[in-house]
Each structure stands twice: as C-alpha cells, then as structure tokens.
A and B are shown apart, each in its own frame.
Chain A
C-alpha cells in the first residue's frame, strides 16, 4: 500500500515537471509564431495604397491589383460570396479605379453597384461579396 502511494506521489511530481517543460515549449512556439508573423508583416512589400478590411488586416495594392477568391489574385479574399476573379483595381493618372470582372454577386462602392468601371477615392468603402474594404494610404513601416 505504501509503495503504491509513493509511486502515485512521484507520478504527480513528475507530471508537474513535465507540465512545466511542456508549457515552456508551448510558450516558445507561440513566441516563434509571433516572431514569424511580425517578420512576414515587415516583409510584405509596401504598396501605393492599402485596402483595409474590418478586421484591420491590410492588403497593399500595386498599380494594378486583382481581387478575388482565387489564390492567384493579388488580393486573395476568403469569402464564399466572392467570385474567383472578382474585380480589378488600377491606379491611373493619380486616381484609383475599380472594375467589376463579371462577378456573380457584384461589386459595390459605398453601397452603390459598380457597372463596368468606377472611381475609388481614399476613404471609400469597397464591397466584394461580403467583405468590406476601405482604401487608405499605406501604413508607415
């Protein structure tokens, strides 16, 4: 009986040590993840402008950027209501233009449906499927 108790006690003690090391490992992994995310964010090229989602996620834009669900797009949107190639954003002679690419659910600017091409100003809200994106100046690195 005493032997069983001693074994059980030692099992708990060793579990404590194991949990401590497990926690260290898990915390270290979490830190590495955070580090990687920060590096990725820093490595992302600065765009001429950013599309900012509600979740505060920023998508840098180039002179011509495609938006859609397809991973080959410049701005990939995880949204079922978005088409695979949904819209095209271009920066032309100092102005931003959005062009709907025959998407199923359409493209909106500030709530208004875009037919063909529409001008997009800084601060305007672009709606692709269910995703709302605001055009903003690029964030400082």
Chain B
C-alpha cells in the first residue's frame, strides 16, 4: 500500500479521539453534547484531509505516520481547550487553520529544500532578531514578569517559537558547511578535544545569546530550547561528547551565575525547589502547587475527562495543559501522550537517518530533537522536575505561535522524508 494510503487510514484515529474526547467533555460540562462536540472532530478531520490532500498533490512520498501523530496531539489539544477555556476554542480553531495553511505553504516553498542551506547567516539573523524582539520598547510586552510576547496590531505571538525554527536551520546549514573541519581530528589538550575556532566561536556566541535571553527576557524556556537544540546539532555533527559536555557545563555555570546575580531568575529556581514553603505556596508558587495537586489527583486512570478540577490552576490552558490532562486521563493517559511525542520525535530522527545529504540529516535531526526537547522541558516543568518555563506543549497547548511554528516544523520533516524517498528511486 502506498504511504499516502496508509496515512489516510491512520487519520481516522485522531478524528475518533476528537469525537470521544469532545463528547466526554461536553457531557461532563453540560450533560449533553453541544456545538463543540461536532466542531472539534470536524476540524480535525478537515485539517487532516486538507493536509493529506496537500501532500498527495505535491506528489509526496513522505512518511505516513507523522501527520496522524501530530493530528492526534492536535485533537487532544482541542478537547483540552474546550475543557479548560471554551471561550478560546474558536480562536484556537482559527490558529489551526493558519497552521494548516503554513504547513501547505512550507510544502512547496522553497522548491528545493537544499536552498535553505544557502543563506545560513540570514537565518541566524532572523532567528536572533525574533528571539530578542520582545525586548523592543513598543511592541514587546511584559507578561507575568517575563518578556516573551510581541504584540502586532492583530494579536500577540511568541517569536521564540519561530526563532527556534530559524536557528535550527542556521545551525544545520552552518555545521553542514563546515563539515570538512570536522573530518579533521581535533587538536587535543590531554584527553579533551579543543574545538577548532569554527566551533568555538559559535558555541560561545550561542551561549552568550542564551544568557542574554535568560536574563533580559527572564525566560528559561527559550534559553533551554535554543541552546539545547544547538547542543543536539553539535552532537549530531561532531559526535564529540566533550563538546556537548562543555556546552552543558557552560550552561550550568551561566545559569548558576544568573541565579546568584539576578533575583528574578533566583525566584524561578526557588519556586521549583521548595514550592510548598509557607511564604511561597499562596503567592509565587501557587500555580505550580495547584499543578502538582492536579497531578496527584490523577492517579492511574484519572478523574475522567471533565471530572477533575484542573480549572483551579491559573492559566492552565497554555502553561499547564499537561497537568490538566494528567489529572483527567491519569497516568495511563500520560504514558500514551508521552509515547505519541516519543514516536513523533523518533520518526523524525529516523527520517534524519535516511536523509540524502548532510544538511538534510542535520536539519531533520535538529527539528526532531528540538521538538523532543520542548516536550521534555515543559513536562518536566509541569511536574516540578525542572524549573518552570514559559514555553508550551507542542500541538496540544493553547497558543497560535506554537501551533503554526510546529506545523511548519512538521512540514519540513515531511519534506526531508520525501527527499529521501525520491533519492532512493532516482
């Protein structure tokens, strides 16, 4: 069976998920199904069919499982938005349409994927500009003490999501371009490899940027994502564990310095370390404490969709969807959700493995790694395993910027997959 046919058959599952989830939530909320019970599965089906058609029309031979996996996440996300913030559902559906359009556009632009590698520094500048744009006076906005939002007339969005894409493209292009240097064995001081300047320079620059973002925007999330993605690509390109270790050490050192020097960073770490302290639990760490209560209230099978009390968590629909899902679907649901993300990331890495050129390998690998990293960081933050950040769960959480950026990410992965399939036949 051709890949598109497999994909079409798999698309039924996310629609079924959307239907049962939406029904459960509506029943629990109002005792009877309502408009959303129909709108949500229709939206998932519509998006699925539209994107499937787009793939067919572009003659794609790409992997069949990626799109259904992502749509399953979207389905869960829509159900959760209906559950937690029903007033925001129409907006999220609108963003879904935008994301689908962005996906379709990314399928054809640029015609040659390799062209992305030709202007690495353009991507770098774009990424940095996006990353630092919330610091600008007029359009940047401060929300809950962090500067990660930008308001532009029609609405607000989080440029860090798009920045992460631009920077992954840049890193992949840069590292692919300098691969001859990698072939040469690095100079060593004792057992430790000293990276050639071509590596040292960007490591230090990236570290500086990450620190700047951390301190100026007070956002741990963008820092972790960008720097983490960078380290992942560094590993993929070089295979030198020492470089990665050095990068992590730099991050840790910088983080520790930031904690010591900047109270708002220290506050974030303190909230993470002792959320139940009497002086914090009704103030700064209230959100995290409520999130942890929701986790504990989930148990194995959850309180049932619509049966828990996740609405007690402030801003639950974007920052703490994971905890809300955990409370209502239980650990059984959590394992399944994490499995979907893992499968998605894994498939992305498999696509990277089979990519025909070095750049495409790095591109796909970087995209998959950054998706996985984002998931791990947000889940960890929700469960107080790591400090909480401002980024959101891909495809699931409410938020337009994240949805659109991740659909573009998906499209890029599928294009690389398509390239590999074609190359084999050529």
Asked if B65 is an interface residue, CB under 8 A from chain A, the answer is: yes
Contacts A17-B336, A23-B72 given; does A31 touch B17 at CB 8 Å: no
* Cβ–Cβ contact A58 & B425, under 8 A: yes
**B314-353 interface mask toward A, CB cutoff 8 Å, 1 = contact, 0 = none?**
0000000000000001101100110110010001000000
**A28-63 interface mask toward B, CB cutoff 8 Å, 1 = contact, 0 = none?**
101101100010010000000000000010100000
* Cβ–Cβ contact A17 & B28, under 8 A: no
Which residues of chain B come closer than 8 Å to A10, judged between CB atoms? 304
Which residues of chain A come closer than 8 Å to B20, judged between CB atoms? 12, 15-16, 19
B25 to chain A, nearest CB (A): 9
Cα A38 to Cα B23 in complex, Å, equals: 40
Which residues of chain A come closer than 8 Å to B302, judged between CB atoms? 13
Contacts A9-B304, A19-B20, A20-B333 given; does A41 touch B64 at CB 8 Å: no
Asked if B188 is an interface residue, CB under 8 A from chain A, the answer is: no
B396 to chain A, nearest CB (A): 13
Q: Which of A10, A20, A30 has the most CB of B within 10 A?
A: A20
Of the stretches B6-14, B48-56, B142-150, the one at the interface is B6-14
B330 to chain A, nearest CB (A): 8
**B178-212 interface mask toward A, CB cutoff 8 Å, 1 = contact, 0 = none?**
00000000000000000000000000000000000
Asked if A122 is an interface residue, CB under 8 A from chain B, the answer is: no
Which residues of chain B come closer than 8 Å to A13, judged between CB atoms? 24, 302, 304-307
Of A9, A12, A22, which one neighbours B13 at CB under 8 angstroms? A22
Cα A123 to Cα B43 in complex, Å, equals: 47
Of B307, B333, B337, B343, which one neighbours A31 at CB under 8 angstroms? B343
* Cβ–Cβ contact A8 & B332, under 8 A: no
Chain A interface size range: 20 to 34
- Enumerate B230-249 residues with CB–CB distance to A below 8 Å: none
Contacts A9-B304, A16-B21 given; does A34 touch B65 at CB 8 Å: yes
* Cβ–Cβ contact B14 & A23, under 8 A: yes
Which residues of chain A come closer than 8 Å to B340, judged between CB atoms? 20, 24
Closest-by-CB residue of A relative to B64 is A30
Chain B interface size range: 35 or more
Which residues of chain B come closer than 8 Å to A14, judged between CB atoms? 301
Q: Which of B3, B65, B69, B329 has the most CB of A within 10 A?
A: B65
**B274-315 interface mask toward A, CB cutoff 8 Å, 1 = contact, 0 = none?**
000000000000000000000000000110111100000000
Q: Which of A8, A13, A14, A24 has the most CB of B within 10 A?
A: A13
Closest-by-CB residue of B relative to A23 is B13
- Enumerate B1-52 residues with CB–CB distance to A below 8 Å: 3, 6, 10, 13-14, 16-17, 20-21, 23-24, 27-28, 31
Which residues of chain A come closer than 8 Å to B333, judged between CB atoms? 17, 20
Cα A41 to Cα B425 in complex, Å, equals: 11
* Cβ–Cβ contact A19 & B329, under 8 A: no
Cα A15 to Cα B424 in complex, Å, equals: 41
Asked if B63 is an interface residue, CB under 8 A from chain A, the answer is: yes
Cα A41 to Cα B354 in complex, Å, equals: 13
Which residues of chain A come closer than 8 Å to B307, judged between CB atoms? 9, 13
* Cβ–Cβ contact A31 & B23, under 8 A: no
B41 to chain A, nearest CB (A): 12
Cα A117 to Cα B342 in complex, Å, equals: 56
B11 to chain A, nearest CB (A): 10
Asked if B426 is an interface residue, CB under 8 A from chain A, the answer is: yes
Which residues of chain B come closer than 8 Å to A19, judged between CB atoms? 13, 16-17, 20
* Cβ–Cβ contact B336 & A21, under 8 A: yes
Cα A99 to Cα B347 in complex, Å, equals: 45
Cα A41 to Cα B420 in complex, Å, equals: 13
* Cβ–Cβ contact B343 & A12, under 8 A: no
Cα A97 to Cα B87 in complex, Å, equals: 72
Which residues of chain B come closer than 8 Å to A22, judged between CB atoms? 13
Asked if B365 is an interface residue, CB under 8 A from chain A, the answer is: no
Asked if B68 is an interface residue, CB under 8 A from chain A, the answer is: yes
Of B63, B304, B332, which one neighbours A34 at CB under 8 angstroms? B63
* Cβ–Cβ contact B23 & A12, under 8 A: yes
Which residues of chain B come closer than 8 Å to A33, judged between CB atoms? 6
Which residues of chain A come closer than 8 Å to B69, judged between CB atoms? 27
* Cβ–Cβ contact A16 & B10, under 8 A: no
Contacts A16-B21, A17-B329, A56-B425 given; does A9 touch B27 at CB 8 Å: yes
Of A5, A26, A56, A139, which one neighbours B10 at CB under 8 angstroms? A26
Closest-by-CB residue of A relative to B6 is A30
Cα A38 to Cα B347 in complex, Å, equals: 14
Top 6 A-B pairs ranked by shortest CB distance?
A23-B13, A16-B20, A12-B24, A13-B304, A20-B336, A15-B20
Give B contacts to A, CB under 8 Å. 3, 6, 10, 13-14, 16-17, 20-21, 23-24, 27-28, 31, 63-65, 68-69, 72, 301-302, 304-307, 329-330, 332-333, 336-337, 339-340, 343, 347, 354, 424-426
A-B contact pairs, 18 of them (CB 8 A): A5-B27, A9-B306, A9-B307, A12-B27, A13-B307, A17-B301, A20-B333, A22-B13, A23-B13, A23-B72, A24-B343, A26-B13, A30-B6, A30-B65, A31-B65, A34-B63, A58-B425, A139-B424
Q: A5-B27, A9-B306, A20-B340 are in contact. List 6 more A-B contacts (CB 8 A).
A: A9-B307, A13-B307, A16-B24, A23-B17, A33-B6, A34-B3
